[in-house]
Amino acid sequence: MELDHQRQRHARVETELHGLTESIGRIATVVGLLDSFDELWTAMIPKERVDLLSLLIDQINVDEPAGKLELKMHDLTESFPTTEAQTGIES
């Protein structure tokens, strides 16, 4: 019984470790992009800029009377959202 419990615990830890490893890769990709962001932004066409921003920004809230802008960023530990470039569907 104790062995079964330890096997289940091991499986949960392995799953969490796999998720963290994937997250590290995603974060490293974003950090690499941000290191050369000015050069990258200049080289991108407007559609690519939209796709990049959609990967980073989940939601934008504007409170015009208060003069506030709030950006909710995507959780980089989760899967990236699919962009139009990946689906081939244009809006």
pLDDT digits (tens, 9 = 90+) for 11-61: 999 998 888 888 888 888 888 878 888 888 899 999 999 998 888 899 999
Per-residue model confidence (pLDDT) at position 40: 84
Mean pLDDT confidence for 73-91: 65
**Better pLDDT: 80 or 75:** 75
Q: How many CA atoms lie within 13 A of 14 on its CB side?
A: 6
Residue 83: which pLDDT band, with cuts at 50, 70 and 90? low
**Helical ranges in 1-91 per DSSP H:** 2-35, 37-43, 46-56, 84-87
Task: Please give the pLDDT value at position 81.
Answer: 58
pTM confidence score: 0.46
